Structure 1
């Protein structure tokens, strides 16, 4: 049952009314106030979370308090640290708000650990804190009732440290409002789940069972004991079976995946966490609990309507691996590279191969940045595998391939809050092959999968070619950039593997542009092209849109692949292709932006493949981004090409830029400060600031027909737009050379 600290008192637990809380003898000292930086960080984080909850934030749930109630006294087996902190917090807030009369009797909270701690709690109930300006611990130690021996009592000293921390954290807070939020019972701003013992009086026996070695409990030992109790309240026979299986058959399953400590505790808990989250999602509930203890109680506890069914699911998810060599099973169906009979997996969260079960045992539940190390797509793949093994579904490899393709295309759709719907899609696909029932995964990719399935039904001979394309690192299952034509697909698949090998990327960035504008428009004058240095831009360009949106990309790619399919020396063929196209454009005197990007390697150096234009279309005023945002350093590709072509080295400043694309981008000469920038008509010039350099600047400008401060480029009209008829980069490079030779 969910309650709060004050809500405990008067609460009926299995017919017994709680009148007081006593920390039992078998428990350790109060530790949250101990000295040391690590404990201080834990203490501060805990108080920060409580403060955020009581001062108008989201309510805070503190997981379990577990114990038995005998003769009206709750003796917690687990949760004494939290209860002690809440006792101190309520005492402080109630006295500061002048509402101490709302607190339980002074003997309502105490320690059986030692009489000194019990007496301190009683004395604390009799006194009121000093003015806010005085430190609580110093004031208390100066009181007549504070015994000298308490200075050596670890629990009392820890309480004093915590009281000082509470005083500091809640300094200036609205204590009246904070206390009011804490006094709303189950609706309190700070709550916990009270789990009573099934058999009152077995408290010490259970603690001894859990801690018979006399050492601190491991997280697994603590969880195992609590979990067995949770299950025993739901299904007593299942609890005995659970204990037997954890110590028996399931241990054999997890032993090959044990950690360096030669234990399987963490591995078993991580997999249990996965199974329990999976159960929660299948119930249609997004996961909100961050810890497996709370989640397990919510799913398998007696309060859950479907607890018995969920326990059956839990046992099935563990039992199914008893008959499976996990490494061999996953190697049979998945691989990290492209193979004819397996499904290539991308973006796995570890370097330990394709054994998803073993990977789950190693890292499930661990964070990576703002996300999960065992990421959600991998979680869905493991869920699919479980569904297959438990339900004995047919055609698993084929259906897993379709699922892989859908997951790779659904980066925008796969979110934690949508996992219940995503699990429904996974189940429908693995159980029935029902791609048409997909509703949460990417629907455009689902349509692609149906089209590919139809192609394979009619032309099974193209299966190997189609799968080879799907397994390519740049495509990852998405073939929207290809015509699903049985006549051309095998030829294009073979050519694509050759053309798009990494060593050819720099050449392909030029060669593909000769067949058309294959870029993907991202809106707001942003355009994505392939990159000579990175795979991600190619993946975005070739797979980042639906089939209709990729029509021009598909046409350009098909022409390139047709051209390169039979080339013996591919690099030479691509170079010749580029040179022929440039010569044709020069003969036509049609030097648009594509001409410059194809001709000058420097203009394709942006690792991201991202260009931002000053106008809605690509043109002569561009930003070439190395990263993905304009607030990072980027290049003006035309100015960079002029610098490189001029060959003047550090006589020109090596300029990068930041900010909006319409900000002026000047390329200055290092000695004189004269500069130029690219505009539609050519290059706008800026004179040097001093008179000595100005005379040389004017002379060079006159020699190069500069008028109105513009180095004009001859232009013609094409499709209603002005297009260069001569090479502006070459013309500007000559001007720069002349300026440097003049001493500018």
Structure 2
């Protein structure tokens, strides 16, 4: 008999030599996989050679009967296992008579069910036991509402399923091993509270048994067993790790103190600890290339494979990492008594959505550890609730905490800033398939500060970080550094300064940074900004042969994609146009940005009118309706910007689109479109250059469409408005053409076609009324 000295009688346990301890709780209808796991352990003990102990059962003996205070579920499972094997083996009534001695005291219905069950011996077949029992005429209706009875029915079905493949001979062996008084295969220890000098009330306060173990309690017991068995299997010549003893101590002390701060609204931190444990374990799986899948739902099986696996050195490395991280986090946040304390720690490194001097904006909750404990392993639709980029950032924080050669606070802020920039620019590179390399490189970079370590991240962004560091080093200006960091922390840039020239005088860079910040401070609408940007030039980027990306009147993400792009055709034009706008805004003044932007647009339009050069850029600058497509995408069958354009509401042709010129005409004419015309088209079959007619709302007949030379008009009652058409120069086939000229390959109207068509439409609608 082996024993350890207890700190308290309730902590003592004893077991037979060779038997293993099982802390798994017995099943309930909600236990699912855990229920079958427990029963499977019992089945293996009965059909194999190993013995198993179910730990202590506490209670008292009265009038020759043992009345347990806890262990009800374990004892019930054993009772049902006895009943099943007795029925399966068709043992005599005399041999199974002892089963009748097991009963329930608290519920009459449970007591009656057990009494009835002990007297019957059904013939088992492929039908589930629960179905057979509930079909019997003597099955009381009250039993269907008794949770204890319903739990027992679930267990009986599980037992039946587990023994389905066990033959009759093996079942007889299992019955013998189960009922043997000399060498039983399943045992538990009785511990009398009276002998221990404890009252029922004191025991309940101390132990909180009598209800099923929580998922966390179950996991903790299982993991303790994993560590214990691993240590027991180490060669006698090898120094013991002591991890089992350390875990049992720390999980209820130091680590409990750490995680308690992260507890949820239920004043319980169990789930939070399990998510943190899963995070650390997944990092270990990735970094060591272990044969397990990160974020596997079966955390217990994963933990056993990683921290109790057969490869000793690999397993020890995994255990080292787990204990190192938990100990490091506990030491770092030992000062914290509230979540506000930990928030404050993270806010010395990070800011959430706005620039704050001395920190790095990460565009989300700054307390990465709290976010991990709340959401790691969960999903939001198809996405991870705790994303891979945030996983890398938290990994970097932990590496900073646990490394022996910890960087200074200034160094870690600088490294976190560069790392943030690189991570946010590496959307295409951050993939599960190469996550091991990404994690290793982050670790190397946090310790060394050498950007060359980030080999698997976006190469262009790493090179930009090197260039920015050289720019700052060459100038050593506090103002330059603050201007650059403020730019990097802008939501539309997120660390990427591809749109800014770093080979300029520091004063030029600073003034452009100020202009950008003033323009995109959130006080001016995107619609006004896009107008002024178009006035400065064609800033579009080609995202496909016939697709051109402009800014959106409402979506920041579209602007961000424009500003952080590096390889799209047209990126250089975007950069040159933005630079021209920033310089113009600086020259005009930053006091009233809206007035400045308006003046830039008006100056361009005034020059176009004076020279009578009306091209597509003029029309898009002049008329807000032509910039109203939410996606900012224009599609042209001629593969160039001009008069053949589809303005997209969404990103694909299978969504709604419209003709920007027709929309501008109807808006300028002040025609209520819902009353007279429909202009949106649904591109389920693609688009055709000559079929984008606006339609009469009343009969869906064609009314107005754009042509290369102008517009074409169709009227179902042309005779009534022929005079109007003639007066506006509309020819016989309904064409309203504009005189044009071509300069350097660009077609210019000599008059504003939108004004011409709007005047005509206004009169036609008036005539129709």
Q: TM-score range by the shorter chain?
A: 0.7 to 0.9
Superposed, which structure 2 residues align to 1:31-42 within 5 Å? 31=29
In the alignment, which residue of structure 2 is the partner of 1:69? 45
In the alignment, which residue of structure 2 is the partner of 1:622? 645
* Pair 1:714–1:202, CA change in 2 (3 A): farther
1:613, distance to aligned residue in structure 2 (A): 2.3
In the alignment, which residue of structure 2 is the partner of 1:465? 483
* Pair 1:75–1:710, CA change in 2 (3 A): farther
Structure 2 residue aligned with 1:607, among 626, 630, 634?
630
Q: Distance in 2 between matches of 1:700 and 1:679?
A: 20
- The total of aligned residue pairs comes to 623
Superposed, which structure 2 residues align to 1:173-212 within 5 Å? 204=188
Structure 1 residue aligned with 2:221, among 210, 221, 225?
225
* Pair 1:139–1:258, CA change in 2 (3 A): closer
Superposed, which structure 2 residues align to 1:261-272 within 5 Å? 261-272=266-277
1:369 aligns with 2:393: no
1:290, distance to aligned residue in structure 2 (A): 3.0
Q: Distance in 2 between matches of 1:223 and 1:240?
A: 16
* Pair 1:429–1:62, CA change in 2 (3 A): farther
Q: CA RMSD in A?
A: 3.9
* Pair 1:686–1:128, CA change in 2 (3 A): farther
Give secondary structure in 2 for the equivalent of 1:607. Answer: coil
CA contact (8 A) 1:612 1:661 kept: no
1:379 aligns with 2:391: yes
1:484 aligns with 2:502: yes
Structure 1 residue aligned with 2:724, among 685, 688, 700?
700
In the alignment, which residue of structure 2 is the partner of 1:560? 581
Q: Distance in 1 between matches of 2:372 and 2:458?
A: 25
Q: Distance in 2 between matches of 1:77 and 1:629?
A: 64
Taking structure 2 as the reference length, the TM-score comes to 0.73
CA contact (8 A) 1:527 1:612 kept: yes
1:292 aligns with 2:288: no
Q: Distance in 1 between matches of 2:208 and 2:225?
A: 18
Superposed, which structure 2 residues align to 1:262-341 within 5 Å? 262-285=267-290, 287=294, 289-305=296-312, 306-325=314-333, 326-336=342-352, 337-341=354-358
CA contact (8 A) 1:270 1:364 kept: yes
CA contact (8 A) 1:480 1:546 kept: no
What are the Cα deviations for residues 572-601 of structure 1, in whole angstroms up to 9, with x where unaligned? 121111111112222333222111110001
1:615, distance to aligned residue in structure 2 (A): 2.7
Q: Distance in 1 between matches of 2:645 and 2:37?
A: 54
1:486, distance to aligned residue in structure 2 (A): 4.5
Q: Distance in 2 between matches of 1:142 and 1:475?
A: 66
Q: Distance in 2 between matches of 1:303 and 1:138?
A: 40
In the alignment, which residue of structure 2 is the partner of 1:474? 492
Structure 2 residue aligned with 1:234, among 198, 216, 230?
230
Give secondary structure in 2 for the equivalent of 1:362. Answer: helix
Bigger relative CO (Cα 8 Å, ≥ 6 apart): 1
In the alignment, which residue of structure 2 is the partner of 1:680? 708
Give secondary structure in 1 for the equivalent of 2:706. Answer: strand
CA contact (8 A) 1:320 1:389 kept: yes
* Pair 1:148–1:670, CA change in 2 (3 A): closer
Q: Distance in 2 between matches of 1:512 and 1:662?
A: 30
Superposed, which structure 2 residues align to 1:517-528 within 5 Å? 517-528=538-549
Q: Distance in 1 between matches of 2:244 and 2:511?
A: 60
CA contact (8 A) 1:639 1:667 kept: yes
Superposed, which structure 2 residues align to 1:642-681 within 5 Å? 642-650=665-673, 651-659=675-683, 660-662=686-688, 664-670=691-697, 673-681=701-709
Structure 2 residue aligned with 1:550, among 565, 571, 584?
571
CA contact (8 A) 1:480 1:550 kept: no
CA contact (8 A) 2:130 2:154 kept: no
What are the Cα deviations for residues 174-225 of structure 1, in whole angstroms up to 9, with x where unaligned? xxxxx99xxxxxxxxxxxxxxxxxxx97975799999961211111001000
In the alignment, which residue of structure 1 is the partner of 2:251? 246
Decide which moves more: 324-333 or 273-282. 324-333
CA contact (8 A) 1:27 1:113 kept: no
Q: Which has the larger radius of gyration?
A: 2
CA contact (8 A) 2:357 2:482 kept: yes
